[in-house]
Amino acid sequence: MKQTPDYSKAEANMQSGVITADGFLGEDTRPLADIIEHDEELFAELNITFDSVAEKLEYLMKKGQTGLGEPITVDDTWLVRTDETRGYLPSPFGDGVFHKINVEVELKGSGKTLLFTEMNIHMLRKFHFLEGKGSTFRMEPALIKEVLIL
Domain definitions of the chain by residue range: 5-148
CA distance 22 to 50: 24
pLDDT (tens place) for every residue of the chain, 150 residues total: 888 889 999 999 999 999 999 999 999 999 999 999 999 999 999 999 999 999 999 999 999 999 988 999 999 999 999 999 888 999 999 999 999 999 999 999 999 999 999 999 999 999 999 999 999 999 999 999 999 999
The pLDDT assigned to 18 comes to 96
The model's pTM:
0.93
Residues 136 and 113: beta-carbon distance below 8 Å: no
Using DSSP, state whether 44 is helix, strand or coil.
helix
